[in-house]
Structure 1
Amino acid sequence: MKDHVNSFLEYLQIEKNYSSYTIEFYKKDIEHFILFMKEQSIATLDDVEYFDARLYVSSLYEQQYARTSAARKISSLRSFFKFLLREKIVHENPFILVIQPKKGVRLPSFLYEEEMQQLFDSCDDSTPLGKRNLALIELLYATGIRVSECANIMVDDVDFEFSTILVKGKGKKERYVPFGIFAAEALESYMNNARSLLVDRSGHRSLFVNARGGPLTVRGIRHVLNDVMKKASLSGKIHPHMFRHSFATHMLNNGADMRTVQELLGHTHLSSTQVYTHVTKEHLRKTYMNSHPRA
């Protein structure tokens, strides 16, 4: 059974080109189901039937798994058994007819334009770290890139002539993302006057540098953003994706079309981008309810 799992994980890595982060989730989901098989005395993967799959789903609800987590586990196992069926290891896919629980629509949280301005104003760009912080948040907001993508940007990926950045996204997909004049000015100031003062002796080419001189990691970016949030005296916790959400929401609020935003965000499916229309509609509804005299 372990060999079959490893073969599937190799298939995800080599043929599907999934990230190690995604593959780890698949592995955990399959291991969780194998534990269930042992509890139910199911000897082999080929012995799993539709009834067993239904029983497993029921056990997820009994353990009070969130709908999103249950849906992910079902999807992982459906893909796993599809692979096993293709390899003729099993004779049927017991999860093919299992109905996934509907996911609740969770609206992305975002910062208003006034709040974004407070963040920019809170950065003291008279110091090297202050210049880095301003360049970081300007770039995140200007491009809507993921924090993991931001952490992987190299100095040579920035093209000031065309105001674009080469971004390595999910599944090793690359795309060019434009940035505006505010981000350009902050980046130039940081790269010309601060980065060389921060970088360590290794001379690495990562664009953003931490206080010790090494590459700024995703965790480090999260720490920087929380620190900037405190200095800006904004209430609530900030998370890195809020810049991505704010980028998409503000673009749509100001008339950008859905397809353009989809391409800029690097979304494979338009449905991933459409969630932001719910945010903009909710924003319009709240504005109307607060402003109209007979709302």
Structure 2
Amino acid sequence: MIDKTKCYELRRLDVERVWDNHLAATAGERWHQRYIGRHVIPDFLVGVSANDSSGIQLLAINQRTILNWMIRDVAGKAIPYAAERLAVLGRFLKVLAGTGLIGADLLAEYRTSRGRQSWQRLVRALQTDNPEAALAELRLVSPPPGPLTAHVRSYIDLQQALGKDYRCQEDALQDFDGFLRDQAVLSAQAVTPDLLERWLGTLTCCARSRIHKMRFVRRFFDYLQSLNLVTRNPVPVFLTSPHRLPRSSFKPFIFTRDQLGAILAEAKKLPDNHMWSRRAETFSTMLTLLCALGLRHGEVLRLRLCDLQFDRQTLFIAQTKFHKSRYVPFGPKVGHCLERYLDVRRTLLLPVRDDDPLFVAKRRRPISNRTLLDIFREILCALRISGIPGQYPPRLHDLRHTCAVNRLLRWYRDGVDVQSRLPVLSTFLGHVDPQSTEVYLTITADLLREANVRFHRHFGSHFDEATHP
């Protein structure tokens, strides 16, 4: 059934501005989908256009106009391609809802009412002789609630409000809730270790995934216990033990100070090519931000001119991983580097708009993620930085690991209480909590040496007295 209560009339100019900003914000990502989007979204805007009495172009956006456009758009197209086009429209409508121009994500709500069907399944229904009847057959029939349904919903809402994704956790908990319903379990308090073992036996995933799902359930019952809804956690600790999981041998590559200096120096030697001039200035500035500020490379690629605030010496990083935005401060050296790059950029691309991407190639084309990765590998090959035999080769993301480790090393050398500063580092890196930051803190020889010096400073006299009474 179509929701007829949510109808929005928007000025086309406002919607086109949102689309332009979205293209700038996603510069360097999903190049194939961006290419499709440059055709899909203008077609969609034409399909829902109307003029008012004063001649202003308006858009009538509601579930009916969206559905009518989708029926027309998928006609005669291959199912995978048509599904990609609908996915692009879905992302754009989500962005539009996020700006407040429309009060709800209409296409997402429609998909939810159809059981969150895949785009390809929706295309198959839309391409039938009677698409509305085919879509009606997909309508979601809600199963009867289980003993944990209400608690699962509030738990997932809480975690997602904290910026976590939690879709995998939601799927696992809903599956467990359905199992309990089928077993005629009436309350969370009635869950036993035996029931958990039997649920595990119904899962067809690998052992690693089963242990992860059991960890999800254990954290969920910790939450219920904190609310006094259960008196104990029924999940046995041994079912979530890390010893039951295969150990990961991955270690990030931590660059030395000399290697970082050589990488930046090599970037300044990059020759121009047909894609853009001043290639050296562009990539040396990007790598400087990655080395000095520990940004994710996607965050650097999505920076816009308006995100630079020289008066406050900060970069604004908008809506990145974990759905968080943050301000990242930078020092005088990084500030001078950015100012030099902006002087070059203004001479190449005029006029300059505030919402333009900061880093672009010729004809204002954003730099892709693949291009940045290829240039970084080219620099590493030129410098013969290949890593340690038997370990993973250096990655662009390892610059972020290196930044975190160097910050920790500097705090040790300055005599700072490192443990109390971890929340600061976590916020700087854009993490949800300090536990997420611990992944980046690889032990290096320098870090271990500084930790030993600090330990000896505090407790060395006791060992000296014991050795030389």
> Shared fold (TM-score greater than 0.5)?
yes
For the residue of structure 2 that corresponds to 1:239, the secondary structure is coil
Shift in CA distance, 116/49, structure 1 to aligned 2, threshold 3 Å: same
Provide the rounded CA distance (Å) in 2 between the counterparts of 1:224 and 1:276.
24
Contact 1:143–1:179, Cα closer than 8 Å, also in 2? yes
Provide the rounded CA distance (Å) in 2 between the counterparts of 1:203 and 1:63.
49
Contact 2:290–2:400, Cα closer than 8 Å, also in 1? yes
Between stretches 263-272 and 245-254, larger displacement belongs to: 263-272
1:266 to 430, 438, 446: 430
Structure with the bigger RCO (C-alpha within 8 Å, sep 6+) is 1
After superposition, the C-alpha distances for 1:96-152 in whole angstroms (9 at most, x for unaligned) are: 524222386865432111111121111136643322211111001111123343343
| Partner AA of 1:140 in structure 2 | L
Shift in CA distance, 267/216, structure 1 to aligned 2, threshold 3 Å: same
Q: Does 1:131 align with 2:131?
A: no
After superposition, the C-alpha distances for 1:41-70 in whole angstroms (9 at most, x for unaligned) are: 9847958863343355578899352xxx55
| Partner AA of 1:101 in structure 2 | S
For the residue of structure 2 that corresponds to 1:207, the secondary structure is coil
5+ long unaligned stretches in structure 1: 86-90, 289-295
Contact 1:53–1:94, Cα closer than 8 Å, also in 2? no
Q: Does 1:192 align with 2:343?
A: yes
After superposition, the C-alpha distances for 1:204-260 in whole angstroms (9 at most, x for unaligned) are: 522233577443455554344333333433214332321111111112222364314
**Corresponding position of 1:205:** 356
After superposition, the C-alpha distances for 1:23-47 in whole angstroms (9 at most, x for unaligned) are: 444466568x67x96xxx9847958
Structural mapping, 1:92-111, within 5 Å: 96-99=234-237, 100-102=240-242, 108-111=252-255
Report the alpha carbon displacement of residue 157 of structure 1 after superposing the two structures with TM. 1.2
Provide the rounded CA distance (Å) in 2 between the counterparts of 1:113 and 1:143.
15
Provide the rounded CA distance (Å) in 1 between the counterparts of 2:440 and 2:199.
34
For the residue of structure 2 that corresponds to 1:111, the secondary structure is coil
Contact 1:111–1:243, Cα closer than 8 Å, also in 2? yes
**Corresponding position of 2:302:** 152
Q: Does 1:76 align with 2:216?
A: yes
For the residue of structure 1 that corresponds to 2:160, the secondary structure is coil
Shift in CA distance, 212/111, structure 1 to aligned 2, threshold 3 Å: farther
Shift in CA distance, 77/216, structure 1 to aligned 2, threshold 3 Å: farther
1:115 to 259, 265, 271: 259
For the residue of structure 2 that corresponds to 1:120, the secondary structure is helix
Contact 2:322–2:431, Cα closer than 8 Å, also in 1? no
Provide the rounded CA distance (Å) in 2 between the counterparts of 1:107 and 1:27.
30
1:162 to 289, 295, 312: 312
**Corresponding position of 2:83:** none
**Corresponding position of 1:243:** 399
Provide the rounded CA distance (Å) in 1 between the counterparts of 2:360 and 2:233.
46
For the residue of structure 2 that corresponds to 1:279, the secondary structure is coil
CA RMSD of aligned residues (A): 4.9
| Partner AA of 2:341 in structure 1 | Y
Q: Does 1:226 align with 2:226?
A: no
Structural mapping, 1:1-20, within 5 Å: 12=156, 16-17=160-161
Provide the rounded CA distance (Å) in 2 between the counterparts of 1:212 and 1:8.
50
Shift in CA distance, 208/101, structure 1 to aligned 2, threshold 3 Å: farther
> What TM-score does the superposition give when structure 1 sets the normalisation length?
0.66
**Corresponding position of 1:252:** 408
Provide the rounded CA distance (Å) in 2 between the counterparts of 1:76 and 1:92.
16
- Of all paired residues, the percent bearing the same amino acid is 21
| Partner AA of 2:331 in structure 1 | G
Report the alpha carbon displacement of residue 83 of structure 1 after superposing the two structures with TM. 9.1
Report the alpha carbon displacement of residue 155 of structure 1 after superposing the two structures with TM. 1.4
Shift in CA distance, 203/78, structure 1 to aligned 2, threshold 3 Å: same
1:53 to 196, 213, 227: 196
Provide the rounded CA distance (Å) in 2 between the counterparts of 1:58 and 1:282.
47
Asked which structure has the greater CA Rg, the reply is 2
For the residue of structure 1 that corresponds to 2:316, the secondary structure is strand
Contact 1:198–1:213, Cα closer than 8 Å, also in 2? yes
Counting matched residue pairs gives 275
> What TM-score does the superposition give when structure 2 sets the normalisation length?
0.45
